[in-house]
Amino acid sequence: MKTKEIILVIGACGQIGRELTSALRKKYGTDSVFATDIAAPETVPASMEPYQKLNVMDTVALESLMESKAFTQVYHLAAVLSANGERNPKAAWDLNMNSLLNVLDLSVKYKVSKVFWPSSIAVFGPNSQKLNTPQYGVMEPTTIYGLSKAAGELWCKYYFEKYGLDVRSLRYPGLISAGEPGGGTTDYAVDIFHSAVKAQVYTCFLKEDTGLPMMYMPDAIRATLELMNAPVVNMSVRTAYNIGALSFTPEEIYSEIVKQMPDFKIAYQPDFRQEIADSWPQSIDDSTARKDWGWKPDYDLQSMVEDMLENIKKLSGADCGQTSGTAVLV
């Protein structure tokens, strides 16, 4: 007999959380997916219901929720990203690490079947291979966010090996969606669309030739669902899987947008985020994910830009956007 899934999403109001919660609800039913975030309920759209305010650092509150609901899956998305992390490194480390440890401990205690926790290309550093960065190789991240993701990956593997907890993870590249991003170095690739649609000049905080791995949100959501639904025997990676899709520079995405919005202008004013971007890979070797669970992205630069512009135009005026419903459910 198939067990009914009861799913907890932590960080449901963030850039990934909004779209993942909606995709999980399409797949498993609204009432089976319980959304939580630090945001006060009155600031959260009614479509988030069932929703509860939760500070993931509050172990007592998290335990009382997990004790009351018998969750079968937990998606722990709350994190401080790369740029914000550098503003207060110790606070970022504390939140990113201790929240993960809380979730892992309680998931063991309450016998959760599967846990998802996102990692990032930020686990790589200046000594990593820049092009086609392999699954295994030199990492040595230089941001506190990258340090916390690299250490977190090893904690996930440790909990799998010591306690049999089925934790799965992806090293997301920069994620592009109509909704607001969360304080990362790749956020320029979202901000640029909002300026284009508002007919404003976009001032980019990275240099024009800074290549980074990126992914359109519908691909990222589908990757997450595919990973979580893959047979356990196929999971050869217990840290986090490399996944790739697009790689482009600010000038390349600008050129693609200009094809549709010929008056759009860009200026460059690199700031502290340039050093972070320079430490990361330019493209990712995701052959292990392709082999283990069939990963394959759908969107290229042109189709992503077309879809984003259409979505942002539709959304202008609304502040908490969701990318198109083209994410395929698995």
Nearest distance in Å: CB 153, ligand AKB: 13
The answer for 51, left when phi > 0, alpha when psi is -120 to 50, beta otherwise, is beta
Task: Give CA–CA dist 21/30, Å, rounded.
Answer: 9
Q: Which one of residues 22, 96, 102, 120 is an interface residue with ligand AKB (CB under 6 A)?
A: 120
DSSP assigned state of 168: E
Provide φ and ψ at 152, rounded to 5°: -60, -40
Q: Which is nearer to ligand AKB, 62 or 227 (CB)?
A: 227
Site string for ligand AKB, 170-189 (x = CB under 6 A): --x-xx--------xxx---
Q: Which one of residues 10, 121, 147, 240 is an interface residue with ligand AKB (CB under 6 A)?
A: 121
Question: By CB under 6 A, is residue 122 in contact with ligand AKB?
Answer: yes
The answer for 273, left when phi > 0, alpha when psi is -120 to 50, beta otherwise, is alpha
Helices first, then strands: H and E counts in the chain? 11, 14
| DSSP states along 261-319 | -TT--EEE---THHHHHHHS-SSB--HHHHHHH-------HHHHHHHHHHHHHHHTT-S
* Size of residue set near ligand AKB by CB under 6 A: 12
Q: Is 145 a catalytic residue?
A: yes
Nearest distance in Å: CB 35, ligand AKB: 21
Task: Give CA–CA dist 287/237, Å, rounded.
Answer: 12
Site string for ligand AKB, 235-274 (x = CB under 6 A): ----------------------------------------
Site string for ligand AKB, 126-145 (x = CB under 6 A): -------------------x
Residues that bind ligand AKB (CB under 6 A): 81-82, 120-122, 145, 172, 174-175, 184-186
Which residues have a catalytic role annotated? 145
